[in-house]
Structure 1
Amino acid sequence: MITLAIIAVTCIVSFLAFNKPKLMDDLILWPPAIQRHREYHRLVTYGLVHADFGHLLFNMLTLFFFGRAIESVYAEELGRFGFLLFYIGGLVVSILPTYIKNRRNPNYHSLGASGAVSAALFAFILFAPWARIIVFVLPMPAILYAVLYVGYSIYMDRTGRDNVNHSAHLWGAAYGVIFTLLIKQGLFTYFLAQLVHPRM
């Protein structure tokens, strides 16, 4: 239910912000607002707003499938709101390097839940590396998608050919893996055992 609640809140806020520029301005990550005015809430609220409907739909669909699949793990280890804590941590950790790099740049903005969604996706891969997922109608093993995703994100982050924060995707993925391994004893061994015994 936590995953569904996150999706519901994110969709509501994003739809409101599509038509209310003031709300978008109040929630988006804008470094000077944090640096000068101590508006630290923006390190989380930027994940509640999205650039457009496609951006929102892609993130929320991904979260719907993978968040629900792993939500119980965090509830078991951290309590009822464990997945919410994990998700908020993903938002903060994934954006911090970008914020630090651009903290004095008044022209920089960032929005969207992609970093936290990446954290959920890569945490899922630890439990089911050979699960079949659909990527743009093409089925592939989750672990193969992870490799391609990381490679593509690194390439695009270095070339800077679009306005997507690929750095947040990478940091979110790293956070998802490290955090989950730290709270779930024996998971790394389980992951390796699954990895060497492919089951499609």
Structure 2
Amino acid sequence: MTVTLTLIAITGFISFIALYVNPKIMDLGMLRPYRTVREGTWYEIITSGFLHAGIGHLLVNMFVLFFFGVVIEQTLGIYHYLALYFSGLAFSAIPSLVRHRENPNYATLGASGAVESILFGYIFLYPTEKIIIILLPIPIPAWIFGIMFLLYSVFESKREGGNVNHEAHIAGAIWGILYLIFFIPNSVDHILTLFGLI
């Protein structure tokens, strides 16, 4: 079993137990910046990534992780793959911790930040590969999809509507690119070569 499938299995199991068997797990594990800062429950930065608001939320994240995670795992190796995933989870929590540290009613959860790090790691390494969006079943280059996704996330984050943590998506996406630039040798040269710039 690959690391990607292991992450999916563990996340699915914990999310299911928290949703349908023991709701206390949900309350203890979700990221509550007000509580995190005051009580030092920093573990929430990681545990929140193994919890989801519902089956739909879980399925979307795990679907994206499956299709792009397997490729990134094979490309980077297990060590860098896990480092990217968990550092992406932590980095994507920063906007929530900063913005909502004074709001006792705010909470967030889900693997989205880590999954976006994996997705944008893929986009960075394979920018010309085609991605098909379910709502728009036309193959488009990965780099165009990445730009569209970021623009949409920025727009939605400014609207401040709904329960989706778009800031975590943006932070996770940015970290997926930064990780490769900082920690994966020759990743920038790889991109320049793909676009014929060197």
TM over 0.5: yes
The 3 A distance-change label for structure 1 pair 54 and 196 is: farther
User: After superposition, where does 1:69-108 map in structure 2 within 5 Å?
Assistant: 69-75=71-77, 80-108=78-106
Query: 1-side partners of 2:196 and 2:108: how far apart?
Result: 39
Query: 2-side partners of 1:35 and 1:186: how far apart?
Result: 38
The number of residue pairs the alignment matches comes to: 193
Corresponding residue of 1:6: 7
- Structure 1 segments of 4 or more deviating over 6 A? none
User: After superposition, where does 1:169-188 map in structure 2 within 5 Å?
Assistant: 169-188=169-188
What is the CA RMSD across the aligned residues, in angstroms?
A: 1.5
Query: 2-side partners of 1:160 and 1:139: how far apart?
Result: 30
Q: 1:29 aligns with which of 21, 28, 31?
A: 31
Unpaired segments ≥5 residues, structure 1: none
| Cα pair 2:91 2:172 within 8 Å, conserved | yes
Aligned residue type for 2:92: S
| Cα pair 1:67 1:120 within 8 Å, conserved | yes
The alpha carbon displacement at 1:132 in A equals 1.3
Deviations 1:157-196 (A, max 9, x none): 1111222111111110110101111122221122133235
Corresponding residue of 1:164: 164
Aligned residue type for 1:141: P
Corresponding residue of 2:195: 195
Corresponding residue of 1:122: 120
Give 3-state SS (helix, strand or coil) of 1:81's partner.
Answer: helix
Aligned residue type for 1:157: S
Aligned residue type for 1:169: H
Query: 2-side partners of 1:7 and 1:29: how far apart?
Result: 20
Deviations 1:129-177 (A, max 9, x none): 1111121134221111101001000101111122211111111011010
| Cα pair 2:88 2:114 within 8 Å, conserved | yes
Aligned residue type for 1:10: T
Deviations 1:52-80 (A, max 9, x none): 111111100111111110113432xxxx4
Corresponding residue of 2:52: 50
